[in-house]
Chains A and B, each alone.
Chain A
Amino acid sequence: MTRGRDERGSPSERFRRNRPALLGLALIGALVIFAALFPLLSSHDPFVSDFAHGIAPSGGPMPPGRAFLLGTDRIFRDELVRLAYGARLSLFIALSATLLATLVGAVVGILAGYFGGTTDFVLMRVVDVGLAFPFLLLVMAIGAALGKTTPETILLVLGLTGWLGTSRIIRSKTIQLRHAHFVVASRALGQSTTRILTLHVLPNVAGPLTVLATLSVAQMIVAESVLSYLGAGIAPPTPTWGHMLFEGQDVVLVAPWTLVAPAVAILVSVLAFNLVGEGLRDALDAQQMGRR
C-alpha cells in the first residue's frame, strides 16, 4: 500500500501531524481534569438529594439551570457532579481492566505464537470457549462468587474476558516474527528462549500492543457502561454512566437531560480513545498490523 505525504518522518512526528488524534488526546486530557477536579470544586454532593431546590415546579427533576448546571436526576441529585464521579469510575475501571487484559493477552498470544504445537492448540481452544461463552452469565457468576460488585470485581471480569481478541492478534504477529530472519538466526545461535522473547519478540510486539491497548480502553468504557446499563455493574448510589443512562430512560419524556448527559459523556470518551488509538496505528504504519 503506497502512501503519500503523510508517511514521512518518525512515528511520533506522524502522530503529531494527525489532527484528529491530537483532538482525541486533548479530549482525554479534559476528561481526566474533569474527573479529578470537578467533584472537588462543585458545591453539590453526588449522593445527596436536594428535596428543597432540586424539584421542578411540575414535580419532576429540575432542568439544567443556574443552580444545577445539568439539572437533577430522578431523585433530585446534581447531574453534573454525578457525571464527574462516573468519569472517575469509568476511567479507573477501563484503564485497569485494559492493563490486565493486555498483559494476559500478550502473554497468551506470545506463548501460543512462539511455541506453537500443543501449547498453541490448548490456548486457542481456551480462547474459543471464552469467545463462545455468554458474557452476562460469566459476569453474574463472578459477581456471585465474589460476593458483591465493586470496581475491583468489575475490572477483574472485564480484564479476564477482554484478553481473548488481543491474544489472537498478538499470536499471529508472533508467528510472523518467529519466521523472521533475526529470530531464526538467534535460535540457530543457541540464544535462550527468554532472551529471544525479551530482545526480539517483545519490542516488535510493543507497537501493535499499544495500539490494541488504547483501542481496548475505549471498548472497556463501553463494556462497563453496558454492564451498568443492564444492572450488573456497581451498585447505586455510586454514579456510573451506564446506570445513569438506564435511570434516564424512564423519564426521558419529562427530563431528557438525564439521558442525554451520560450518553454524550460515553460517546465523547470512547471517541477520544478511538481517535488516539487510530492515530497511533497510522503512525506506527498499518501494514505491520495485518488485517483485523
Chain B
Amino acid sequence: MRALGLFCPVVLMIAACSTPFPPPIGSSHPDETAPRRGGTLHLASFADVRTLDPAVASDDLASAMFEEIFAGLVDYDAQARIVPDLARRFEVSPDGLTYRFFMREGVRFHDGSELTAADVKRSIERALHPTTPNPAASLYDTIAGFDAYTSGKAEHLDGVVVEGQYVVAIRLKETDSRFLSVLALHPLRPVCPSAGDRYKDTWEPCGAGPYKLVPGSWDRGRSLVLTRHTGYFVPGLPYIDSIEWTLSMNRAGELYAFEDGNIDLTHDLGDAELEALRADPRWARFVSAEPDRTVDGEVMNTEIPPFDNIEVRRAVASAIDRGQYHSYKPESLSPSGQALPPAVVGYDPHFVGQTYDYDAALAHMAKAGFPYDPATGKGGYPRAIPYLLVRQGATEYTAQILQQDLAKIGLRLELHLVNWPTFLSLAYTRGAVAMAAPGWAMDYPDPSDFFESLFSSKAIQGEQSSNTAFYRSARVDDLVERARHELDPVARLALFTEANHIVCDDAPWAFTDTRRFEDVAQPYVRGFKPHPVWTFYTATTWLDRPGSARRDALGFLWSHPAQSLHTAARARLSGRSW
C-alpha cells in the first residue's frame, strides 16, 4: 500500500514537467533564394495507404502520393485553377462538347516508354472498365459512351478519341462545366504500359509524374520511398532527390521525430502542439494553414420526423453555438454557417449563412408546433431523436456539445455509437438515420462537388444517396442543373450562390464548421506552401539543410528537463557502494 502512496506523487511530478519545443534547425543558406538540388524529404503520416493504383484508391493519403507519381493531362495550380500539365495546351469546342488536348512530345513514363495519346485512352478505359473497383467512376459519366462501356456492352469507350500520336479528344454527351475539374483528379491519369488495360491488384504503380516508386521500396504499412524520375518532362524539376514516407506513425512519435529533425514536414500535429508552436516566436512562421477542404454539419434526414418539419430544422441551425464547437478544438475547427469550405473556388468569406440565435431558435420551435419553455423545461419534441455517430471518432465530443445545445430548445438527442463500417453502411441508406454528422470533404475545388452530391435530388439513387439528408428542392435542383451546363464562370457562380442561400435557409444541414489542417515545415524546407487541393504539394520545394541536421537518438535526453532527474539519479548511484 505504501508503494501506491509513492506512485501517485511521482507520476504527478513527472506530469508537471512541461515539454518546451527545442529550437528549430535552421536553413544552411537562409539568404539564398535560388533552389538547390538534392536531399531527401522525410514525411510521415498517421494513416496507412492501402493501394497506390489511381484507378481504385479513395483515401486522402493516396491522393497526396498520386500527385508525385502520376501526371495528368491537366492539373491544379497553386490557386486551384486548371492548367495544362501533360498537355501543352487544350481547347474546348464552342458547343462545349469536345475537349481536345495537344500533348507534349517526348514525355517518358517511369519505365522509359514514351507517353502518347494511345496511352491516355488506354488508361482512361482501364480506370472506367466494369471490372475495376473504381469508387469515383461516376464523376466521369458525361463522357460519351460511358454507360455502354461501364455496363460491359461496348468494347471501348467511344467518347475518347485518339486523333493523332499526340492529340486526344474527349467528347461529352452533354455540356459539363465541371469536366476539367474532375479530369484534373487522379483516377484517369495515364499509367505505364505495364498496367495493361485491365485492373490487376498486383501491378506496381508506375506513371509519368516527378517521382517514381522503385520496386521493393514500398514496405507495406511501414514506409515508402519515392525517387526522382530523371525523365520528368519539366526540366530541372523536381529539386529533391527522394521522398521518404513513414506510414502508420502515431502522433506522439511524429511530434518527437519532427522535433528531432527526422521529419521535415507534417500536418498531423495535435491542437495543443500547434498552439505551442504558434506561440513560440522561433517557430511561428513555419506553421501555415491549409485552406479548409471539409464541411461539417449536423445532417437532418428530411424524411424522418421531426426533421421533415422545416421549422424544426431552422431551429436546430439557430440553436448551435458554433463558438462552443470551436472552443474544444480551436486549431482545427473554424466555425462556419454555409455549405462551402474556403478551399472551393468561388467561396465567399463574407456570406454568413446560418448563425447562432437562441431566441430565433425558440421562435422556430414554436412555429413548428413544439414550443419549449426554458424556464420550466416543458414542451419541445416529445420523443428522443437517435443520433448516429462513430465511436471514438472526431464527432464524439461535438455530439455531446450538440446534445446540450439542443436540450435547451426542447430537443432530446440519444447518441448511438457504432463503428465506422456500420456507420458507413447506414449513413447513406434511406430511412436508417435521423441525424448524423458525416461531413463532406472536397473532391475537387468546385461548388458543384458539394451541391450535386449533397443537395441535389439526383444524388438520391433508389435506397442509397450521398445526399444524406434526402433533401429535395426543385429550386436547388434547377439551379444545379443549369450550373452544370453554364460555361460562363461568373454566371455559374451566381447560380451556386443562390443555391447556397436556399440551402442555408431550408437547413437540411445545420452547418457547424470547416476542418482545417496546419502544415508545419522545418526552416530548411524551402519553397513549400500549402496547396488548396493536394496535401504536401512539393513540386517546387527544395531542401537547404545543414550536414548534421539530425539529432542522434539519445540526444534529446540531454535537451530535456528530465535530464536533471537522469543526472541526479546517476550521481546517487555512483556514490553508493553495493
Contacts and interface: CB of A to CB of B under 8 A. Distances in A.
A235 B11 contact: no
Contacts of A23: 1
Contacts of A59: 275, 327, 330
Interface string A30-48: 0000000000000000011
A285 interface: no
Interface string B403-446: 11000000000011101001000000000000000000000000
B272 A237 contact: no
B14 to A, nearest CB: 9
A75 B328 contact: yes
B315 to A, nearest CB: 21
A55 B396 CA distance: 19
A166 B328 CA distance: 46
B417 A236 contact: yes
Contact of A236 (B275, B396, B419): B396
B397 interface: yes
B19 interface: yes
Interface string B373-399: 000000000000000000110001101
B46 to A, nearest CB: 13
Contact of A254 (B272, B391, B419): B272
A31 to B, nearest CB: 15
Contacts of A267: 4
B513 to A, nearest CB: 15
Nearest to A229: B392
B272 A256 contact: no
Nearest to A20: B1
B334 to A, nearest CB: 15
A149 B330 CA distance: 32
A237 B415 contact: yes
B473 interface: no
A214 B539 CA distance: 65
Contacts of A256: 12, 15
* Consensus secondary structure, chain A interface: loop
A246 B392 CA distance: 8
Nearest to A140: B419
A254 B273 CA distance: 9
The CB with the most chain A CB atoms within 10 A, among B4, B330, B397, is that of B397
B211 to A, nearest CB: 34
Contacts of B275: 58-59
A232 B272 CA distance: 27
B279 to A, nearest CB: 9
Interface string B265-302: 00000101001000000000000000000000000000
Interface string A199-233: 00000000000000000000000000000000110
A48 B404 contact: yes
Contacts of B391: 231-232
Nearest to B386: A148
Contact of B272 (A60, A148, A260): A60
Contact of B416 (A140, A235, A260): A235
A267 to B, nearest CB: 8
B15 A75 contact: no
A51 interface: yes
Given A74-B328, A236-B396, A149 B15 contact: no
B327 A51 contact: yes
B397 A260 contact: no
Interface string A49-78: 101000100111000000000000011100
Interface in A1-46: 20, 23
A46 to B, nearest CB: 11
A253 interface: yes
Nearest to A149: B417
B419 A231 contact: yes
A49 B403 CA distance: 11
Contact of B401 (A49, A148, A246): A49
B415 A236 contact: yes
Nearest to A237: B400
A183 B328 CA distance: 67
Given A75-B397, A148-B416, A236-B415, A55 B327 contact: yes
A124 to B, nearest CB: 33
Contacts of B8: 260, 264
Interface of B: 1, 4, 8, 11-12, 15, 19, 270, 272, 275, 324, 327-328, 330, 391-392, 396-397, 399-401, 403-404, 415-417, 419, 422
14 contacts: A47-B403, A49-B404, A59-B327, A76-B328, A231-B417, A235-B415, A235-B416, A237-B403, A253-B272, A254-B272, A256-B15, A260-B8, A264-B8, A267-B4
Given A231-B392, A231-B417, 6 more contacts: A58-B275, A60-B272, A75-B400, A246-B392, A253-B272, A260-B11
Ranked nearest first, the 8 interchain pairs of A and B with the lowest CB-CB distance are: A231-B391, A256-B15, A231-B392, A254-B272, A237-B400, A235-B417, A235-B415, A75-B397
